[in-house]
Structure 1
Amino acid sequence: MKFLSPFVVLSLATLSGALPASDHVVHEKRSGASTLWQKAARVNGTENVIVRIGLTQNNLDRGYEYLMDVSDSVSPNYGKFWTPEKVAETFAPSNETVTAVKQWLIQGGVDANRLSQTKNKAWIVFNATTAEAETLLHTQYYHYKNAVTGSTTIATDQYRLPQSVTQHVDYIKPGVVLPLTSRKRQAGRKPLRYQPSKKTTPNPSSLATCDEAITPACVAALYKIPVASKDVSPNNSLGIFEEGDYYSQEDLDLFFKNFTRWIPSGTHPKPAFIDGAEAPVPVDEAGAESDLDFQLAYPIVYPQAITLFQNDDYNYASEEIYTSGFFNTFLDALDGSYCTYCADGECGDASGLDPVYPDTNQGGYTGQLMCGTYKPTNVISISYGLQEDDLPEYYQKRQCNEFLKLGLQGTSILIASGDDGVAGPPGDYTDDGCLGNGTIFSPAFPNSCPWVTNVGATKLYPGYTVADGESAAYDPIGDPYSIAYASGGGFSNIYPIPSYQAAAVAEYFNKHNPPYPYYKGAANIGKNGGLYNRLGRGYPDVAANGDNIAMFNAGEYILEGGTSASTPIFSSVINRIIEKRIAAGKGPVGFLNPVLYRNADALNDITNGTNPGCGTDGFSTAPGYVSIVFRSISKVMLMLDV
């Protein structure tokens, strides 16, 4: 084993006199026995370990206050975004925390020369024998063996800290956390794919058949999107996230040729490849998700650039290796401090959940984990996600904090709200993707994070024109659909209602009360037959068309549907707005929701349709909340102070 620095093994007698056990309290205790990890023998006291102490971050309780200060249009600091350095410094552990933990360790017999602090200040690290660590933490370490893989790890059932130190420590490794391996990750938000009844592409300039096939001309007409200026800022590329799905240049060129002849053949996104990712792929291997994202975004933003954040090497992206975490390696690459950032009981990427680099598996990426390699774009469109119930709550909260930090720096994060109504994907815990006995609604992740903007999907019903208005996207099973599709939405079981949407949610419940029993708070899931959390953050926040999208995939003309389509549309419009702001001497808009909810009259309410799931009709659309979509780009531009 390699060590960070040499050390002298201190006697147990020296350590035992540091602080009496009566001054210690339980800091972490494992709840329940693991069915995957089996406790084996006690660890030999002479075994060497690297002890990592995750320090409590400073000012996390003020994160919402900071974000609203730069995101709310009525604030005098609206648009005055922070630098990455200011973000890191603001949330770094306080000097008081660092001093308190170091003093405790030194008093416990650990020489100061053995202590090192990571660059982002989040960890204090030192080498020790397990006997030293046990004495410091008033605990006992055991070997644990994975019943499936046979791998081993060291952990404890609980450990104690001095009362004066507990407030300064998030958690400690090795500690009570056993490497997690939850269910296999669901594929990212994939659109519904079906062959159009008409094999020929529609007239690219006609609006007569927008109810049958949504073309770039239909999108422009629906939302009154003007022709883009030829003079664009080099610092306003639209960011698009992809993982495990890859675009084909041949598909893009076919799309340009048939629908957007003003976009030259060969136009492609700028690569920002993360941890061994690659693109494009041959046309017969092309993914519908990636092709869809670019074929919707380019007609709106061109000649603005698009940056492709393609994530993870093929082993992890294709799940050749068993991982179930999501987005952490992407966030690592945008913010170097996130690689080791501590919050909500997790420091750095999650053991057993996230990819590990260098990847020693055959064909894996052999470089180091990318940390702070790429600068975030002003807008990032994400058409992938999971359900809240798929990953530990601490994992989601730490990640949600990072979305807040990106918002502080001026980045707008938009995420597809999902394609299963109030449920999760079929087979996600239950056959219908619902929680409990198959009736409780399943909120999506990271959609329920209060610091992202969720995009739901609308559609033009048969016989409707672009002037008639849209409805919530819902397609039951049947030709041409092999699975049901309903725009995702609901209420979080993790996060409470944020202040920026409190009035809108209250009005919705008051005037359009859903006809279902509910529970209050995550601790009461399913209580009294409740189907959803009445106190949870609601989503989606906005919507755009996401059905019957005309595109090319694998060399063929097809139609697609999904919130995977609505998200790049809305993201592209926000990117265009930022372009106008830059031309006016302003800048990005960052976290969108405070302005969107404060200025709902600039958005067109969708008042027809529901999002069925879990044996119900789901939630109904209504004036003022749930599935709103921008009416005119000019109005939204005014709303965002262009």
Structure 2
Amino acid sequence: MHPASSTSSLQLTLVLPPTNIDGLHTALYDVSDPKSANYGKYLSKAEVEAFVAPKPDSVKAVTDWLGQHNIHPQTVSPSGDMLRIDIPVSTANTLLAANFTVFKDKYSDVTLTRTLSVTIPDDVAPYLEYIYPTTQFIMPLRRKNPPFEVVTLSPKSKRQTDFCAVDVIPQCLESYYHIPAAPANATGNSIGVSGYMDQIASEQDLQIFFDAWRPDVTTSPEFNIVSIDGGITSGVGTLEASLDIQYTVGVATNVPTTFYSVGNPFVQGYIDLVNFLLGLDELPLVLSNSYCMFEGLFDVDSANTFCNAYAQLGARGTSVLFASGDWGVYSIGFDNNCNITAFDPTFPSGCPFLTSVGGTTGFDGPEVAAEFSGGGFSTLFAQPDYQSAAVQRYLDTIGNTNAGLFNRSGRAFPDVSAQAVRYLTEINGTFYGINGTSASTPVFASVIALLNDARLNAGLPSLGFLNPLLYSKQGTAALNDVTSGSNPGCGPVGFPAAEGWDPVTGLGSPDFDKLLALVMGAQPGL
């Protein structure tokens, strides 16, 4: 730990208070609840921006303050609620009455330039929500491949016919979850997949994957790549991105797919992706995210900023899905040791405005929970009304189990789940069997994309924010309830799966046929 060089550069993001964030939340629920007369009547870009745009006096107060220090911010969000400045450490120290210091994590080579305190002038403070990074010690995303093993395949003529007894390939998912193999064909359908840390998928790997597991598809599979924050757009395929793309393009057959390659490994990269999307006139109808962090790294202000960004996507009709994590109820430190002193929820699964996806395993009979499936209760976000009854039934069932290790009144996750063990994925000439909610998330997202296809062809809007529908009586009945297993992850105990919702597998895994019948009847006032 030593003082940061006065001439080194800091990039700071200043978040201004939104004009009417409660109004955005109300509008989101109004267009997402099948019981509402406004179900599916999503907000326009301008309508969303009007809710979150800062008031003019906020903008003036902050820009005038920065101008006094000859700092000229860049607006980095479509609504204008986020400003970004690049300034020397010496200027940052003067601006914020701070002492920016280089801190080094004791378990890794990661260094962060942070300060232990900041001071905002009294006449400016009411117009700022927070500045990042200053006192927040949120570690960057670290390169951590999902668990995998190399798989040796027999020649085609000698391959076993029942791969599903051991592995997951698209046909297993199609058969078990009744997912259609026929290509989607609706105009305007789309799905996005996020990628970070120089993760990339290759079309050559995708073609080999299709040759092996989707021989019924006669056209060449493809996907688009969009770079954000200098994200890479080519290269040898990597595990995470290859898994995500192969089981998106390979399950959501013919749904236009875009891979968003984000170059910033810090949490700003998450926000930059959302702001990029919110700046588009046409959003992807589904956004699949196989990444997560630990909630304990976030304070309330920064967590709310992320969550409100996802609420904006939902209000415009995008279904946002995130992996619940692969550590069960616990967390893993930078020393790769399991923190078993308390349950540690992942982030952003605790945000109430997105759908969190857990993991299951087993095609031979009923599924069981994958022991690594992330799940639990947020310490930052309150439990939303749409899930309160389902969660209370679970809490009544487990009684004092794990008492004191979790926040019983917090937003509970995951919401749903899908198979998450040993997905055969092709990377640079080798097949790997990959585990994780990194696998279940693109699969559930692909199911939503195919449901959107049917709705669009019938002249109906996309499904948007899913949870009010999924937690309804009809939604719960359209899912496969998973009642066996638990999620200790790396520790000694976890939550047990149970009838109904549980913090291991959520409400359960998809049954496409039942979900299709549900969503084709999901009209306003259902």
Could you state the TM-score of these two structures normalised by the residue count of structure 1? Answer: 0.69
1:493 is paired with a residue whose SS is strand
Aligned to 1:499: 385
2:433 is paired with a residue whose SS is strand
1:472 maps to amino acid: A
CA distance in 2, matches of 1:515, 1:150: 39
Residue 256 in 1 paired to residue 217 in 2? no
8 Å CA contact retained: 1:204, 1:258: no
8 Å CA contact retained: 2:373, 2:489: no
Selected match of 2:399 from 513, 523, 529: 513
- Cα–Cα, structure 1 residues 304 and 156, in superposed 2: closer, same or farther, change >3 Å? closer
CA distance in 1, matches of 2:268, 2:246: 28
2:35 maps to amino acid: V
Aligned to 1:194: 149
2:295 maps to amino acid: E
- Cα–Cα, structure 1 residues 265 and 287, in superposed 2: closer, same or farther, change >3 Å? farther
- Residue deviations 1:503-560 (CA, integer Å, cap 9, x gap): 1110000023362221xxxxxxxxxxxx222221111100111112223222112322
1:401 maps to amino acid: N
- Measured after TM superposition, the shift of residue 332 of structure 1 is 2.6
CA distance in 1, matches of 2:360, 2:486: 10
Aligned to 1:538: 412
**Within 5 Å, which residues of 2 pair with 1:456-475?**
456-460=358-362, 465=364, 468-474=365-371
CA distance in 2, matches of 1:178, 1:587: 42
Aligned to 2:356: 454
- Measured after TM superposition, the shift of residue 147 of structure 1 is 6.9
2:491 is paired with a residue whose SS is coil
Selected match of 1:236 from 189, 199, 212: 189
2:471 is paired with a residue whose SS is helix
Aligned to 1:331: 274
CA distance in 2, matches of 1:537, 1:202: 50
- Cα–Cα, structure 1 residues 456 and 53, in superposed 2: closer, same or farther, change >3 Å? closer
Selected match of 1:76 from 21, 32, 37: 37
- Measured after TM superposition, the shift of residue 72 of structure 1 is 0.7
Aligned to 2:164: 210
**Within 5 Å, which residues of 2 pair with 1:471-482?**
471-474=368-371
- Cα–Cα, structure 1 residues 183 and 52, in superposed 2: closer, same or farther, change >3 Å? closer
Residue 570 in 1 paired to residue 424 in 2? no
1:241 is paired with a residue whose SS is strand
- Measured after TM superposition, the shift of residue 397 of structure 1 is 1.8
Indicate the structure (1 or 2) with the bigger Cα radius of gyration: 1
CA distance in 1, matches of 2:455, 2:427: 35
- Cα–Cα, structure 1 residues 253 and 514, in superposed 2: closer, same or farther, change >3 Å? farther
8 Å CA contact retained: 1:237, 1:304: yes
8 Å CA contact retained: 2:28, 2:311: yes
The share of aligned pairs that are identical, in percent, is: 29
CA distance in 2, matches of 1:411, 1:387: 24
When the two chains are superposed, the root-mean-square deviation of aligned CA atoms in Å is 4.1
- Cα–Cα, structure 1 residues 584 and 428, in superposed 2: closer, same or farther, change >3 Å? same
1:236 maps to amino acid: N
- Cα–Cα, structure 1 residues 509 and 381, in superposed 2: closer, same or farther, change >3 Å? same
Aligned to 2:524: none
Residue 93 in 1 paired to residue 54 in 2? yes
- Measured after TM superposition, the shift of residue 37 of structure 1 is 5.1
8 Å CA contact retained: 1:143, 1:152: no
CA distance in 1, matches of 2:223, 2:270: 20
5+ residue gaps, structure 2: 7-11, 86-91, 105-109, 522-526
Aligned to 1:296: 247
8 Å CA contact retained: 2:329, 2:489: yes
- Residue deviations 1:385-441 (CA, integer Å, cap 9, x gap): 11112344432221111000100000001111111111123x347711x2xxx4201
- Cα–Cα, structure 1 residues 261 and 280, in superposed 2: closer, same or farther, change >3 Å? farther
8 Å CA contact retained: 2:45, 2:281: no
- Measured after TM superposition, the shift of residue 304 of structure 1 is 2.1
CA distance in 2, matches of 1:505, 1:262: 42
8 Å CA contact retained: 1:333, 1:374: no
- Cα–Cα, structure 1 residues 514 and 221, in superposed 2: closer, same or farther, change >3 Å? farther
Residue 378 in 1 paired to residue 285 in 2? yes
Aligned to 1:557: 431
Aligned to 1:397: 304
8 Å CA contact retained: 1:69, 1:77: yes
Aligned to 1:585: 459
CA distance in 2, matches of 1:154, 1:443: 26
- Cα–Cα, structure 1 residues 262 and 75, in superposed 2: closer, same or farther, change >3 Å? same
CA distance in 1, matches of 2:221, 2:427: 16
